[in-house]
Amino acid sequence: QVQLVESGGGVVQPGGSLRLSCVASGFPFQSFGMHWVRQTPGKGLEWLALIWDDGNNKYYTDSVRGRLTVSRDNSKKTVFLQMNSLRVDDTAVYYCARRYCGRSKCYFDGWGQGTLVIVSS
Amino acid sequence: EIVLTQSPATLSLSPGERATLSCRASQSVSNNLAWYQQRPGQAPRLLIYDTSNRASGTPARFSGSGSGTDFTLTITSLAPEDFAVYYCQQSSDGPSYIFGQGTRLDIK
């Protein structure tokens, strides 16, 4: 059973940084790409970043490229999201999710419970 | 950028009734569309991928259909646990992943 547990959220001032972690269990972590997705009441669900299973390929949505960095440690079954230069509109619940591929495209199966990030002065 | 528009925003039905949820894409997404269920206080859960394939653990009362720009999620007989928010999502090269704004399925 896929289990993902995020941590690292909290309250941070604008311009600050946070590092989110997501620990995986119940599946061969080193064989799966991993995503970060965030959710806000106003903007809904927004995909942020993808890191492939071996960590060699990383992709970001345009709005966060340069401020967010995804990484992973397969020995610790953990994926990270380093968030810098945080803005008020980064306030959201942040989820990690497993990459699952269908016949031609990939989706999100297996989500963590989320960690809340609040950016406020 | 592709935009996914879900309708209706809210759907009020009774247990046992049939639910039909719509997702329209601003341009063709072929069959690269998924549906997720999000219950209150929980993370989204993958229900359907590649338009019509049920994910592991998805009950048979859930089905997906469509192609190109128009897609439908059908729940044939609503169970109490089905009242939740449903999102469609498309995947494309880039990669790019876009979600619809959601349809809230309420108990009538």
Q: Do B91 and A105 touch (CB under 8 A)?
A: yes
* Nearest residue in chain B measured CA to CA from A43: B101
A113 touches chain B (CB under 8 A): yes
B44 touches chain A (CB under 8 A): yes
A116 touches chain B (CB under 8 A): no
Q: Look at residue A29 in the predicted model and tell me its pLDDT.
A: 98
Residue B80: pLDDT band with limits 50, 70, 90: very high
Q: Do B102 and A104 touch (CB under 8 A)?
A: no
Shortest alpha-carbon distance between residue A86 and chain B (Å): 22
Quote the CA–CA distance of B52 and B35 in Å, as a whole number: 9
Number of H helices, E strands in chain A: 0, 11
Q: Look at residue A50 in the predicted model and tell me its pLDDT.
A: 97
Rounded mean pLDDT, A30-40: 97
DSSP codes, chain B: ---EEEE-SEEEE-TTS-EEEEEEESS--TT-EEEEEE-TTS--EEEEETTTEEPTT--TTEEEEEETTEEEEEESS--GGG-SEEEEEEEETTTEEEE---EEEEE-
Q: Look at residue A104 in the predicted model and tell me its pLDDT.
A: 84
pLDDT tens digits, residue range B6-65? 999 999 999 999 999 999 999 999 899 999 999 999 999 999 999 999 999 999 999 999
Q: Look at residue B50 in the predicted model and tell me its pLDDT.
A: 95
Q: For chain B, what percent of residues have pLDDT higher than 90?
A: 94
CB pairs under 8 A between A and B: 62
Residue A42: pLDDT band with limits 50, 70, 90: confident
Shortest alpha-carbon distance between residue A111 and chain B (Å): 6
Q: Do A108 and B32 touch (CB under 8 A)?
A: no
Rounded mean pLDDT, A2-22: 98
pLDDT tens digits, residue range A94-119? 999 999 998 889 999 999 999 999 99
The kind and range of the H/E element at A99 are strand A92-101
Q: Look at residue A41 in the predicted model and tell me its pLDDT.
A: 84
B chain contacts of residue A104, beta-carbon cutoff 8 Å: 30, 32, 50
Rounded mean pLDDT, B73-79: 97
